[in-house]
Structure 1
Amino acid sequence: MTNTTTATGKEAAYFGVPWEDAYGYAQAIKIGDTIYVSGQLSHDDKGTMIAPAALDESGKPADFSTMEEQMRVTYANARKLLARFGASLDHVVEETLYVLDVDEAFAVAGKVRKEAYATARPQCSSNLIGVSRLAFPEQLIEIAFKAVLPPA
C-alpha cells in the first residue's frame, strides 16, 4: 500500500493490486478536505477475490449467496483506504453501492452497513444501483465513497 502526492496537491492511495496499473487508476484521491474512494470490492492485500460468486457455464454468477461477505470485505477495504488519510467511515458523506442483484443487496445491506458504520442510522447519503456487470465476473458488489474531513 502506497500513497503519492502530485504537483497539483492530489494525494493518491494505492493497494498495489494488478488492476491499478492495468486499468490505470488510484484507489483513492484526497484533495483538500475531500477524499474520493474508487469503487471497492472484496479482495485481499494481494488482489485475490474474497467470497467470489460461483459462476455458471456462461461465466455469470450462478447465485448471490456470497454478497453479504463481499459487502463486509468491501467496507473493510474502504476503511483501510480512508485510514491512510486520517479518515474513517464516520467521515463518509456519500456512498454508492453497485450490485448485480438488488433484492439480495436489500436483504443484507441494512445489517452490513449498520455494522460497518457502527450505528443504526449511518450519517451518509446512500445510493443502491442495480447493474448488469461489474469489473470481475465473480464480483457481486462494488462500493464507491466520498468522505469529507472536518476543517483543521
Structure 2
Amino acid sequence: MANQKNLPAKKTAGFGVAWEGLYGYVQAVQVKDTIYLSGQLSHDTEGNLVAPAVLNESGSPVDFSTMEDQMRQTYSNIVDLLAEFGATLDHVVEETLFVIDVPAAFAAAGKVRKEFYGAEVPQVASNLIGVSSLAFPQQLIEITIRAVIE
C-alpha cells in the first residue's frame, strides 16, 4: 500500500445515482487547483436518463434526434458538479465529448456549447470522439471535463 502521507488531498462530489456505487467511482474529484469530471450523461436527480434515444430490436439507437436535449442536460449536470467546488464553466480548460453519432453531435454542439459557455467561441480545448457505444444503450453522448481554479 502507498504511503498515505504522500498522497495529495482530494475533494470529491457525486450525484448519488446507482451506477456510482455499482461501478465504484466518484463523479468529480479536485486535486490542488484542478477539477476532473468523470464522463457525464443526461440524467435527472433520480438517475433517470433525460431524452433517451429510441432503440431498435437489437438495442441500438434508431435516430439521434434527442442529441441536443441529451447534450443540454449533460452540460446542466456539469454546471451542478462544478458548483460543488466553487467553479463554473469559465474554469473549464478542456472537454471531451464521446458520441455515438458525430454529425448529430457536431450539429447540436455548436448551439448548445455556445449557449452554456455564453460565447460564440468558447475558450476551452474541445475534443469530439465518435464511439460505438456508451454505458447505457439509450445514451448518445458523454462528456468529460477538466477545470482549473485558483
**Smaller-chain TM-score bracket:** over 0.9
Query: Once the 2 structures are TM-superposed, how far is the Cα of residue 8 of structure 1 from its aligned partner?
Result: 4.1
Amino acid at match of 1:64: F
* Paired residues, number: 144
Q: Which residue of 2 aligns with 1:147?
A: 147
Q: Which residue of 2 aligns with 1:3?
A: none
Instruction: Tell me if the contact between 2:101 and 2:140 (Cα under 8 Å) persists in the aligned partners.
Output: yes
3-state DSSP of counterpart to 2:72 = helix
Identity over the aligned pairs, expressed in percent? 65
Q: Which residue of 1 aligns with 2:126?
A: 126
Q: Which residue of 2 aligns with 1:47?
A: 47
Q: Which residue of 2 aligns with 1:16?
A: 16
Instruction: Tell me if the contact between 2:8 and 2:32 (Cα under 8 Å) persists in the aligned partners.
Output: no
Query: Once the 2 structures are TM-superposed, how far is the Cα of residue 145 of structure 1 from its aligned partner?
Result: 0.1
Normalising by structure 1, we get a TM-score of 0.93
Amino acid at match of 1:20: E
Q: Which residue of 1 aligns with 2:107?
A: 107
Query: Once the 2 structures are TM-superposed, how far is the Cα of residue 93 of structure 1 from its aligned partner?
Result: 0.1
Query: Once the 2 structures are TM-superposed, how far is the Cα of residue 14 of structure 1 from its aligned partner?
Result: 1.1
Q: Distance in 1 between matches of 2:19 and 2:115?
A: 29
Normalising by structure 2, we get a TM-score of 0.94
Q: Distance in 2 between matches of 1:112 and 1:118?
A: 10
Query: Once the 2 structures are TM-superposed, how far is the Cα of residue 89 of structure 1 from its aligned partner?
Result: 0.4
Q: Which residue of 1 aligns with 2:64?
A: 64
Amino acid at match of 2:66: T
Report the RMSD for the aligned CA atoms in angstroms: 0.8
Q: Which residue of 1 aligns with 2:4?
A: none
> Which whole-Å deviations, capped at 9, do the CAs of 1:51-103 have from their partners, x for residues lacking one?
00000000110110000000000000000000000000000000000000001
Worse overlay, 130-139 or 103-112: 103-112
Q: Distance in 2 between matches of 1:87 and 1:8?
A: 20
3-state DSSP of counterpart to 1:111 = helix
Question: Structure 2: where are the runs of 5+ without partners?
Answer: 1-6
3-state DSSP of counterpart to 1:110 = helix
Q: Distance in 1 between matches of 2:106 and 2:121?
A: 15
Q: Distance in 1 between matches of 2:144 and 2:34?
A: 14
Q: Distance in 1 between matches of 2:103 and 2:73?
A: 20
